[in-house]
Amino acid sequence: MENEKLGVAIHGVGQVAYAHAASWLKNPHCKIVSVSSRRKETAQRLVDKFGIDCTVRDSYDEVIRDERVDIVNISGPNHVHAEQGIATAEAGKHLMIEKPMVLSMEENLALRDAVAAAGVKSVVSFVLRWNPLFENLKSLLAAGAVGELFYTEVDYWHAIGPVGYDGWHWAHTRKTGGSTMLLGGCHAVDAIRWLAGDEVAEVTAYSNNIKGLFEYDSNVVAVLKFRGGGIGKTSTLFDAEMPYSLNIDLVGTEGTLRDNRIWSKRLLPGQTGWTEMSTVMPDSAAVEHHPFDAQMNHLVDCIRQDRESHCNVADGYRTHELCLAIDRSIAEGGRPVSLPLE
């Protein structure tokens, strides 16, 4: 393992797969050995763009039977992630799985248990965890910059519609897209868990569908109660008419972090107004903007060093459980839903 390169198979070749491929190609410990899709010609287009010398396939069964494959990059439509992830784990392959990794609690449990039973390494593509602003925020929280955190808010406001989105044909339906929280809001939900360092005990959510573009309600707001006594809020707005925005508010007993602004008398006793951090912001939905290099490097390091990721399937289970609890509250007219769901 120390000297041999890990064989990577990319399955599913939508827009995000091109960003994935670019990142895998930069890692010196990896080699892309397979690219596949339901249609072989679409897989070939990705291979041609990067000039990759690898096998091109239209069969997922062939991918997981290939002895050269150590890691499977699952990046097809939402509704196939869980089935393919389970098959990958059962074949003894490590997996990098795009979000959402599941569309139901049944799938959530099955995928979590399959990965645990197989003992393979995994990373769920909650790419914000490697964003430089998030790295700064985690460091500031750990340093006690805001004291005891008692309010956490992350919002995902992203105008999504049939124009300019190559996954629209499957993303807007319940069967293949899932829900607003699973399609995009899961990024904000995972960010809340990651930044708060605590799990949600109860959620109450409401929604509407103003433009009627989606089969499910496209705008969601949820109020959260954490196990440790904190409170929070998350919202996802697909009907918003505005540039992409990920809003972050972290309020503590001794300071506040708002996006890239700091108010902390503990760290900055002489400040007279907000202090701004110069860093890379999570302010674009473009896949080229996402820190996939760091994410793929992280998974490779976990495999080579035989350690678990902070963003593995077992942890992703909790993020998806919270998304599904929000959906359940909406379906039940805003009734509070307690966690864990199982």
Task: Please give the average per-residue pLDDT across 161-190, as a whole number.
Answer: 95
Q: Is residue 107 part of a domain?
A: yes
Identify the residue whose tokens are 């902390």: 264
Distance CA 117, CA 120 (A): 8
- Residue 278 is predicted with a pLDDT of 98
28 lies in the same domain as 42: yes
51 and 111 share one domain: yes
Bridge partners (DSSP) of residue 148 are: none
150 and 212 co-located in one domain: yes
Task: Give the amino acid at 282.
Answer: P
Q: Answer left, alpha or beta for residue 8, where phi above 0 means left and psi between -120 and 50 means alpha.
A: beta
Q: In this predicted structure, what is the pLDDT of residue 341?
A: 96
Number of separate domains in the chain: 2
Instruction: Specify the DSSP element, H or E, that contains 185.
Output: none
CA–CA separation, 9 and 64 (whole Å): 9
pLDDT, tens digit (0-9, with 9 covering 90-100), for 80-98 = 999 999 999 999 999 999 9
Element (H, E) at 201: strand 200-208
Task: Assess whether 263 and 306 both reside in one domain.
Answer: no
* Boundaries of domain holding 79: 6-127+292-311
| Length of the chain, in residues | 342
Place of tokens 């997981």: 64
Q: In what order do the strands lie in the sheet with 6-11?
A: 55-57, 30-36, 6-11, 71-74, 94-97, 122-124
The C-alpha atoms of residue 34 and residue 11 are separated, in whole angstroms, by 8
Instruction: Answer yes or no: are the C-beta atoms of 31 and 56 closer than 8 Å.
Output: no
* Whether residue 65 is found in the same domain as residue 15: yes
Same domain, 260 and 165: yes
How far is it, in rounded angstroms, from Cα 287 to Cα 295?
A: 13
CATH code where residue 86 lies: 3.40.50.720
* CATH number of the CATH domain containing 239: 3.30.360.10
**Residue 123 forms part of a structural domain:** yes
At residue 1, the pLDDT reads 46
% residues pLDDT > 70 (the chain): 99
The answer to whether residue 15 is domain-embedded is: yes
The answer to whether the beta carbons of residues 107 and 82 sit under 8 Å apart is: yes
pLDDT at 3 (0 to 100): 63
For the record, the structure tokens of 200 come out as 């949600």
Tens-place pLDDT, residues 106-117: 999 999 999 999
- Domain assignment present for residue 111? The answer is yes
**232 and 203 in a common domain:** yes
Cα 181 to Cα 43, 130, 185, 267, distances in angstroms: 29, 21, 4, 36
Coil, helix or strand for 167? coil
For the chain, percent of residues with pLDDT exceeding 90? 97
pLDDT for position 28: 98
> pLDDT band at residue 316, thresholds of 50, 70 and 90?
very high
Helix axes 313-331, 105-118, angle to 10 degrees: 170
Same-domain pairing of 185 and 116: no
Nearest to 264 by CA among 278, 276, 282: 276
Evaluate whether residue 1 is within a structural domain: no
Q: What is the pLDDT of residue 298?
A: 98
Q: Could you read off the pLDDT of 2-30 as tens digits, one per residue?
A: 568 999 999 999 999 999 999 999 999 99
Residue 23 lies in a domain: yes
Q: Do 133 and 69 belong to one domain?
A: no
How, if at all, do strands 200-208 and 337-338 pair? antiparallel
51, with CB counted inside 10 A (0-12, 13-18, 19+), is exposed
Within this chain, do residues 99 and 246 fall inside the same structural domain, yes or no? no
What's the predicted TM-score (pTM) here?
A: 0.96
Between CA 46 and CA 39 the distance in angstroms is 12
Distance CA 192, CA 320 (A): 12
> Does residue 21 form part of some domain?
yes
72, 24 contact by CB (below 8 A)? no
Which residues is 56 bridged to in the sheet?
35
**Residue 222 and residue 253 in one domain:** yes
Q: Please check whether residue 40 lies inside any domain of the structure.
A: yes
Residue 327: pLDDT band by 50, 70, 90 thresholds?
A: very high
pLDDT for 23-78, tens place per residue?
999 999 999 999 999 999 999 999 999 999 999 999 999 999 999 999 999 999 99
Place of tokens 């907000």: 274
Q: Are residues 247 and 163 in the same domain?
A: yes
